[in-house]
Every structure is written in C-alpha cells, then in structure tokens.
Amino acid sequence: MARIGFERLAHGYGTGGYALKPMDMVWEDAGAYALLGPSGCGKTTLLNIVSGLLRPSEGRVVFDGAEVTDLPPERRNVAQVFQFPVVYDTMTVRENLAFPLRNRGVPAKAANARVEHVAALLGLTAMLDRRARNLGADDKQKISLGRGLVRDDVAVILFDEPLTVIDPHLKWELRSRLKELHRQVPVTMIYVTHDQTEALTFADRVVVMSEGEVVQVGTPEALFDRPAHTFVGHFIGSPGMNLLPCAVAGREAVLEGGARIALPRAYPALAGKVELGIRPEFATLAREGLPVSLRRVEDLGRRRIARVELAGRPFAATLPEGMPVPAEPCLALDLARLHVYADGRLAEGEA
C-alpha cells in the first residue's frame, strides 16, 4: 500500500510543449482514484509515470516518502491491468490467478485461499479448473482483473480502461464488483477511463484532466456541485452544465441581451471571459421567471430535458414530471446553485 506524491511533476515527449503540465498532487494510501478525461488529455502518460514505464521529464514521484522517479516498474511493486486480457491460455483459471503469488513464493495454501476469494468476488468460481483457452473475452478480462487484484502486498494497482472489451451489460456488474473489492482489499487503486459513469462509480476521488492539466480532484459530489473549471462542469453530467457568457457586477449577472440574474454571492471585478454556470438539474421550466424559447423536449426515461434558447444561446433545463410544456415557457433557476467562472476557472464570491 502506498501514498503516492507528485512533486513539480511534468512531462514532455520532446515534440514541443507539455503532454502533462507541471503539477503537485498527493494520492492517499488505500484510496480509490479515477483518472478521467477525453482522449489525449494525458491519462496514460501519468499512469505510465506511476508504473515506471515512463520517466517524467521534470519533477519527482514519491511512494510513501521515498523517491521512485528512477526505479523501473519491477522495483515499484505495482500491479497493472490493461485494456486487453493478459492470460496464459494453456493454464487453468486457478493457475492464472495464482501465478503472481507463486512467482513471489507465497505458500500454496495461502495462495489458494486468496485465489478462491478473488475468484468469488469476480464471479469466476465455477470455472476455476477450466483452461483459459476456451473462455470468452469477458471471462479472460475477469482473469486479468483477478491477477491484478490477487496480491495484497502491492503498493498500487493500476487499471487502464479495464472494461473496454467487456460486454456492455456486464460492465455495470464488474464496476460494482471492483468497488466491492476495493472495500475488501484496501490497496491504493488508480482507474483510468474516459467514461464518467465508470469513474464516478468506482472512485472516491476523481482526477479530471484536460489538455495535459489536472483541472480538479474531487469526490463525485464535489465535481457535480462545485465544478472548479468549466471543463468539469461540461464533461461531468448528462447533459453537462449550462454556461452563459455574461458580465458580473457585485451580486448581479447581466446576460447577453440584457437579462439580469441575482447571484448568491458578491464578486469582485473579474478579468477575462466571464460565464455563468448552472446545471440542468437546477434550472426548471416554469410558467414564471426568465422567458425562453423552447426548441424541443428530450425524454431520457427517468427525466425530461427541455432544450431551450436563453439570451440567444442553447440551454438545457428540467421539465418536471407530469408538467405540460407551458404556453409561454420561462426558466426558474435555483439561485444557490449558480456559479461564476472567469477564463474557465471558478470565481470565489463572498457570501
């Protein structure tokens, strides 16, 4: 188990600019973290720096207070699960799972108990004595997950998009099983994904990345309630946060076109591009409030989203259950849930 620290860490591949911009960060011992962001944002670069496959061009990596920046992967005590299954076809499932333990001289009895425990958690018990060769991609990836999880002496377990090959209907099951495993095996786990559902289900803390920068580290609730960056507001949520260009003076925002909105906090003069952010969950279609033009209604099953236009911009609002679309639709905003951003970053107002 390990507390992982990054000190003035950065990486460039020598092609000009940073793939990972300079940062300081700590991942607590036994935490469940997700690295979340779109393709190319630097997730794999950061993961490879943790495992030792890549040496950062700047800064230090520290495991439990000891620098490991120059240590190769085999000296870091890291287990890694990749996108695609890594199993020995000629071995049985049991032998595959036991392999990392046998390799390290764990006595057979202890190894077998551990293998059976992990197999039960992953739903592999019934096939323990079958050869891996005859299994489908889903089961093979479960074995890969099991091989990553079977040792409880590792500093950290890294998962790199581990559910890519898994059938969609099995994904939700494996996601919750992984979460359960983390509860039972309190090892630091890092889960890389571009899928917000996977990140938010698995992690206690989500590290959101955009263009080589860590833009927020927070609980799933914090990312939803208080996005530190417009990227987080937009990327997390379905649909994401509404963002409207505006001018802010004290406790008031003025939208393009002149509509005025009272703010829950007072703001100092803000430089750069100023935007008002509010999630669709806190903007409701109503008979009174800010007049909007309705474009269409989307039925998402458990809720309905009204696509409207506000101050000449597209805006997503909630249409309450059972409510007919008003003849003259307006928006009711939960003012306490409004946020102000300057050049993409959350502006701190005063209560």
Ligand X SMILES: Nc1ncnc2c1ncn2[C@@H]1O[C@H](COP(=O)(O)OP(=O)(O)OP(=O)(O)O)[C@@H](O)[C@H]1O
Q: Applying CB under 6 A, which residues contact ligand X?
A: 13, 15, 19, 37, 39-45, 194
Q: Which is nearer to ligand X, 83 or 112 (CB)?
A: 83
Q: How far is residue 24 CA from its own chain's centroid?
A: 19
Smallest separation, CB 50 to ligand X (Å): 12
Query: What is the per-residue burial (b if ≥16 Cβ within 10 Å, else e) of 305-329?
Result: bbbbebbeeebbbbbeeeeeeeeeb
Q: Which is nearer to ligand X, 40 or 326 (CB)?
A: 40
Beta bridge partners of 156: 78, 188
Q: Which is nearer to ligand X, 13 or 84 (CB)?
A: 13
What are the DSSP calls for 226-257, one per residue? S-SBHHHHHHSSSS--EEEEEEEEEEEEEETT
Q: How far is residue 30 CA from its own chain's centroid?
A: 17
Smallest separation, CB 336 to ligand X (Å): 34
Q: Which is nearer to ligand X, 194 or 226 (CB)?
A: 194
Q: Which residue type is seen at 196? A: Q
Q: Which is nearer to ligand X, 44 or 69 (CB)?
A: 44
Contact 210, 23 (CB under 8 A): no
Smallest separation, CB 162 to ligand X (Å): 13
Q: Is the peptide bond between 291 and the residue preceding it cis, with omega within 30 degrees of 0?
A: no
Smallest separation, CB 168 to ligand X (Å): 19
Question: At 249, phi and psi to the nearest 5?
Answer: -135, 115
Q: Which is nearer to ligand X, 214 or 331 (CB)?
A: 214
Smallest separation, CB 226 to ligand X (Å): 24
Q: How far is residue 86 CA from its own chain's centroid?
A: 24
DSSP state of 132: G
Q: Which is nearer to ligand X, 54 or 101 (CB)?
A: 54
Burial of 101 (0-12, 13-18, 19+ CB in 10 A): buried
3-state secondary structure of 138: helix
Q: Which is nearer to ligand X, 42 or 240 (CB)?
A: 42
Smallest separation, CB 300 to ligand X (Å): 27
CA distance 287 to 297: 16
Sheet harboring 4-11: ordered strands across? 20-27, 4-11, 58-63, 66-67
Smallest separation, CB 69 to ligand X (Å): 18
Smallest separation, CB 217 to ligand X (Å): 16
Smallest separation, CB 55 to ligand X (Å): 12
Residues 6+ apart with CB under 8 A from 132: 87, 88, 89, 90, 91, 92, 93, 96, 140, 143
Two tokens, residue 64: 């439990």
Q: Which is nearer to ligand X, 199 or 261 (CB)?
A: 199
